[in-house]
Structure 1
């Protein structure tokens, strides 16, 4: 199914993106849920899928993590089932991510889906990332507060909740409504009836993650082997002192590693295309031969990108799930990065090159692309 969001993107970015929360009534007209509560519950029974049950009973918050074997113990009120990265496991839900590609692919993270019974929610809390919450079946009330320093408290260690807040948005959302919340705005939602919510989350790496990731890259490639040297070592009054010139030189040694575009770009392409959640990778058996892929595409078959697979481009280089794809066929690589569904025409003359066909076959045999049924 194709979804279209009623958003004027230039206006939205100017007025709201990372600035203010907003409710977009009927953001998706005639909304149809791509998944049922039973299907969502089934996914939460799988080992590879990240899921939680959150309940609020007798004034106490309880959180349990999947996989779940049964839901028979649950009542009719005050609980929610939350399943992360559903777009990785359920193809129809991946279509909900595509309208948001008006924003950069590298910032988009995954699709979290929650099913809640009346009163179900996770309490008032803060997120450190942007999120678009699409209301599916049922109704849910959302409250959003002003961005102010909020004291976090932990009635449960898995729920980083905040103190109660005054609402600047207090809205009952119906199917197709979209709530956008930037980082740092406290919010809470609770279901008025059995309901589904779809949260399109955005990745926001911290400085700590970036430094740690780049350090791993440096170590793996044995970069930065040059040692500190000081042929003109400055004399000092106290031998215990480390003088400013030495600190500057040490800092410059570290910055020099980062300030190499070839390495920095290669690292970031690998780092940012790694998924934070498991992918539903199912390599074909038996593997495709390159000529079989050629014949299938020429006969009109189409290749579909695996849900959740991160394919990004930096300059002329394309990265897939943490690896750079080497090929001189730039239009074909651009097609891999920019199109979810690939037809023969998008590859241009690259299919006539045996080396590119071998590269494409390796990607398909890794389970990253598959032929449309």
Structure 2
């Protein structure tokens, strides 16, 4: 599916991370990618992250999957919502929903959470720390958006749900199938199903916090450091007061930190691996028998296409020597020449016509490595 009536450049300039926006059905033709019963079946499978939120007597309760199929038969009297994470990793038609939103860099994409709700169902007023596009799939949902929130915003006492204690609605819309509501980080919102079989697709975009970046970057640096790399002060001069930590000492100590953490090239290489680490690594596509580079070349010359594992993450960082570093599921591969061209294609789309790109033994070797790791597969 593609957008037919959506000003992407205007959206990025005037709306992205600034304010909510209702986008009335911009699709050429909207088709709901998954049925409610299929989603419920997925929530019963082990290894799939799912929650069921019910509301009875004004109090919300949350249960975590996998669920017994009989659990859904007892929901008729409750205002309920079933939420399933990373449905794009399991259902190709849901994964296709991401394609029109790739005007946002791939490394920012988190996953597609899908919800189905009965009449009056909803998770309550809340806010997220990431951007989200809420695509109405089936039925109707009434969305309200409100105030800007942060970590100091008061929450209701609840063990499983982060619900706002106060919600001040400023706008309200009824979404029909194909409509999209964009909500930037920190904006309070609340969605209530109007009628049964209300399905919503939440396309979320992750945003690492400063604390998260510093913490993980520092952990990576520490793992590679030698205990012999220590403070030194050759040429030390006698101080008037031995209790003072002199400015010269502070300068040396500070430089020990900033020179290490300020290495931009090292940070770029670390972040490529960090950003490409899969969220759900258990979705394994590795073949029963490993393929050689010759096997790969033969299949590609025969016209086979490549597809990416939807749970895998691909990204690249350009290098000053015109090569690039490819990052796949946390692993790093240096690419040059036609291998670099292949790497860019692998990062740009979910399906790759290898006959046009894989020309050298090195390119075949890279594809073989990624196939054997389960990050790529042949589209049979």
TM-score by length of 1: 0.92
CA contact (8 A) 1:54 1:80 kept: yes
- Provide closer, same or farther for how the CA distance between residues 15 and 262 of structure 1 changes in structure 2, counting only shifts above 3 A: closer
Q: Assess, with a 3 A threshold, how the Cα gap between structure 1 residues 140 and 297 changes in structure 2: closer, same or farther.
A: same
**CA distance in 2 between partners of 1:161 and 1:248 (Å):** 46
Change (3 A) 1:77 1:164: same
| CA distance in 2: counterparts of 1:51 and 1:361, whole angstroms | 34
Write the distance in 2 (CA, Å) between the matches of 1:224 and 1:332: 41
The yes-or-no answer on 1:297 pairing with 2:300 is: yes
| Residues in 1 aligned to 2:122 and 2:326: alpha-carbon distance in whole angstroms | 40
Q: 1:79 to 1:330 in 2, by over 3 A?
A: same
The answer on whether the counterparts of 1:5 and 1:99 sit within 8 Å (CA) in structure 2 is no
- Structure 1 residue 23: deviation in Å? 0.4
C-alpha distance in 1 between matches for 2:74 and 2:314? 41
1:71-119: per-residue Cα shift (whole Å, max 9, x none)?
Answer: 2332344111111111112222110011111111111111111111111
Query: Where in structure 2 are there 5+ consecutive unaligned residues?
Result: 319-323
Q: For structure 1, which segment, 132-141 or 210-219, has the greater mean C-alpha deviation from structure 2 after superposition?
A: 210-219
Matched, 1:286 2:285: no
Runs of 5+ in structure 1 lacking a partner?
Answer: none
Q: Do 1:49 and 1:278's aligned partners in 2 also have CA atoms closer than 8 Å? A: no
Q: In the alignment, which residue of structure 2 is the partner of 1:219?
A: 222
Map 1:1-373 to 2 at 5 A: 2-4=1-3, 6-70=5-69, 71=71, 72-147=73-148, 151-193=153-195, 194-222=197-225, 226-233=229-236, 239-315=242-318, 316-328=324-336, 329-350=339-360, 353=361, 355-373=362-380
Go from structure 1 to structure 2 and tell me whether the alpha carbon gap of 1:7 and 1:87 turns closer, same or farther (over 3 Å shift): same
2:279 is paired with a residue whose SS is coil
CA spacing shift, 1:261–1:346, aligned 2, 3 Å: farther
CA change 1:228–1:174 in 2 (3 A) is same
**Structure 2 Cα separation of the partners of residues 282 and 148 of structure 1:** 40
User: Counterpart of 1:136 in 2: which secondary structure?
Assistant: strand
State how far apart, in whole Å, the 1-side matches of 2:2 and 2:117 are.
Answer: 23
Cα root mean square deviation, aligned: 2.1
Once structures 1 and 2 are overlaid, which stretch shifts more, 141-150 or 216-225?
A: 216-225
Do 2:108 and 2:206's aligned partners in 1 also have CA atoms closer than 8 Å?
Answer: yes
Give the Å deviation of 1:169.
2.0
Deviation string for 1:115-134 (max 9, x for gaps)? Answer: 11111111001111100000
- Assess, with a 3 A threshold, how the Cα gap between structure 1 residues 273 and 148 changes in structure 2: closer, same or farther: closer
* Maintained 8 Å contact 2:218/2:261: no
Q: Could you say what secondary structure the match of 2:13 adopts?
A: helix
1:227-259 C-alpha deviation (Å, 9 max, x unpaired): 111234465565444344433432221111122
With 162-171 and 300-309 compared, the bigger mean Cα shift is at 162-171
Task: Give the deviation of 1:14 after TM superposition.
Answer: 1.1
| Whole-Å separation in 2 of the counterparts to 1:310 and 1:46 | 23
State whether residues 56 and 78 of structure 1, in contact with CA within 8 Å, keep that contact through their aligned partners in structure 2.
yes
- In the superposition, relative to structure 1, how do residues 5 and 86 fare at CA in structure 2: closer, same or farther (>3 Å)? farther
TM-score with structure 2 length normalisation?
Answer: 0.91
* Mapped contact 1:48–1:278 kept (Cα < 8 A): no
Matches of 1:215 and 1:261 in 2, distance apart?
Answer: 14
Q: Distance in 1 between matches of 2:227 and 2:140?
A: 56
